[in-house]
Amino acid sequence: MQYRPLGRTGVQVSTLALGAMNFGRIGRTTQDEATALVDASLEAGINLVDTADWYSAGESEEMVGKAIAGRRDDIVLATKATMPMGDERNHQGSSRRWLITALEDSLRRLGVDHVDLYQIHRWDPNTSDEETLSALTDLQRAGKIRCFGSSTFPAHRVVQAQWAAREHHLSRYVTEQPSYSILQRGVEAHVLPVAEQYGLGVLVWSPLASGWLTGAVRRGRDVATHRSAILPERFDMTLAHNRARLDAVEQLARVADEAGLTLIELALGFVTAHPAVTGALIGPRTPEHLRTQLAAADTVLSADVLDAIDAVVAPGTDLAPHEKHDTPPALLDPSLRRR
């Protein structure tokens, strides 16, 4: 396992990190299974565990808390807030009112007195940067979080938040967590350069493109991934962008074969090769998933292999732009672009 500095925090984290989104009802993972995944991950050298209050409505945090009991100090523990937690309209977002409540709920579920990294799960257009950063700064000074970051922020919002922190003399986001894979390279054009400019740690999610880059999705083969059952439209081959993804996967599989790698090793080696990236979040549901992903822990891709990947999917290109999760609200809601 390799380790890199998490931005400018002074904390060293593994280049593969354990994402716990599949813990609980989302991944149909039991407590015993979740604990086994944490055990195997720590044994392999992973030292960062990432979860969120929204994952399985808090169940993921509860499972992580039980799995890490007795070894909290050896783990860089990260969680997130802002996604809706129930139907109450104020139980979401990044207001001071909600963040303080959400963090207390997360600490209770995790069974800890602090988290190392607290992340704003999505940009909240209804809350000012000053409001959010002020609340996070106070939580940091109270010792309940060690540092904080953003997740899936558009590049201009990352810059705006950095400016607001300086303008109002508040602590700043020190990490960003974007979606990044060979099939979704749009962040290379804006987000990753901004992260480098501001010295942010970058923890990328969905490096295996929701299962597209695991080897399970190939031409002439029935698509039977866990994600295909949850999000069937992402694997509907009648859609042009999915056919484009399948074409790319077939070409990438040949690149991997020629390099003596699995497709998973190629995919994880690709994202961790970018100089802006600190680490990649893997989200295994089973020990076998974890084993195949841990095999990429020390994968280093040659320039020739990286060039071959560029020839398949051009730098800065998203093969499914609508899945970026950082689209400005005005592009999704017509009422926001009309007077």
Cα separation, 23 vs 59, in Å, equals 7
Cα separation, 311 vs 137, in Å, equals 44
Cα separation, 257 vs 266, in Å, equals 10
| Residues 295, 269 contacting (CB under 8 angstroms) | no
Place of tokens 């997130």: 80
Residue 206 burial (CB count, 10 A)? 24
Cα separation, 269 vs 92, in Å, equals 35
Strands (E), 43-196: 48-50, 76-81, 115-120, 145-151, 175-177
Burial profile 73-91: b = 16 or more Cβ within 10 angstroms, e = fewer: eebbbbbbbbbebeeeeee
Contacts of 299 (CB under 8 A, 6+ apart): 261, 265, 266, 268, 269, 272
Q: Which DSSP state fits 83? A: S
User: Per the residue annotation, which of 55, 118, 173, 180 is the catalytic one?
Assistant: 55
Is 180 marked active-site? no
Catalytic positions: 55
